[in-house]
Amino acid sequence: GIQVEQSPPDLILQEGANSTLRCNFSDSVNNLQWFHQNPWGQLINLFYIPSGTKQNGRLSATTVATERYSLLYISSSQTTDSGVYFCAVLRTYKYIFGTGTRLKVLA
Partner 1 sequence: DGGITQSPKYLFRKEGQNVTLSCEQNLNHDAMYWYRQDPGQGLRLIYYSQIVNDFQKGDIAEGYSVSREKKESFPLTVTSAQKNPTAFYLCASGLAGGNEQFFGPGTRLTVL
Q: Return the bridge partners of 88, or none.
A: 33, 97
Interface residue with partner 1, options 48, 53, 76, 80 (CB under 8 A): 48
How many chain residues bind partner 1 (CB under 8 A)?
22
Closest CA to 79 of 19, 13, 8, 32: 13
CB of 51 to partner 1, least distance (A): 14
Does residue 45 bind partner 1 (CB under 8 A)?
A: yes
Element (H, E) at 4: strand 4-7
Does residue 57 bind partner 1 (CB under 8 A)?
A: no
> What CA–CA distance (Å, rounded) separates 6 from 67?
15
Does residue 101 bind partner 1 (CB under 8 A)?
A: no
Cis peptide preceding 39, ω within 30 of 0 = no
CB of 46 to partner 1, least distance (A): 11
By the criterion CB under 8 A, which residues form the site for partner 1? 30-31, 33, 35, 40-43, 45, 48, 86, 88, 90, 92-100
